[in-house]
Amino acid sequence: MTRRSLRENIFRILFKVEFNSLEEMDEQIEFSIEDIEKITDEEKTYIIDKTKAIIGKQEEIDEIIAANSNGWNIGRIGKAELAIMRLAIYEMKYDEDIPYKVAINEAIELTKLYCNEDTKNFVNGVLAQIKE
C-alpha cells in the first residue's frame, strides 16, 4: 500500500470522529480496518497508531485550525475538510518523517477527491499559515 493510500485510509477513519464519540472510535477504527483489502499487519499497525495519535492531539490541532482559519469557527468547517486538516497538521507538527510541503500537498490531493472544488483554496490557506 502506498503512503497516499495509507493516508487516505487514515482520513476516512478521522472523518468518522465527527459522527461518533471518542469512546466509540476504537471500535470504528477496527471496523474501518476490516474493510481495507490487502492490508499487511505493518500497514494495519501504522493506520491504527497514527489515527489514535491524531485523535489524541485533536484538541490541540483544533486550536491550531481555529487560530489559522481567519475567523471560521470549527463547527462551520466541513467535516471532510476538518479531517483532512487534522491529518495534515498532525503530520506537519508531530510526524518528523513527513516534510511540511508533502503534508500540505497530500492534504490538497485529498481535498480534490473528497471536497468541493472551492475548498482546496481554504484548506491550502489554513495550512500555509502554519509554521513548522
Residue 43 maps to which CATH number? Answer: 1.10.940.10
Gap between the Cα atoms of 81 and 26, Å rounded: 22
Report pLDDT for 132: 54
The strand ranges marked E within 13-104 are none
Residue 5 has pLDDT above 60, yes or no: yes
Based on the structure, what is the number of domains in the chain?
1
Interval 92-117: pLDDT, tens: 999 999 999 999 999 999 999 999 98
Range of the domain at 47: 3-129
> What confidence category does residue 118 fall into, taking pLDDT thresholds of 50, 70 and 90?
confident
Nearest C-alpha neighbor of 103 from the set 84, 79, 121, 118: 84
Interval 19-69: pLDDT, tens: 998 889 999 999 999 989 999 999 999 999 999 999 999 999 999 999 999
User: What is the value of pTM for the model shown?
Assistant: 0.94
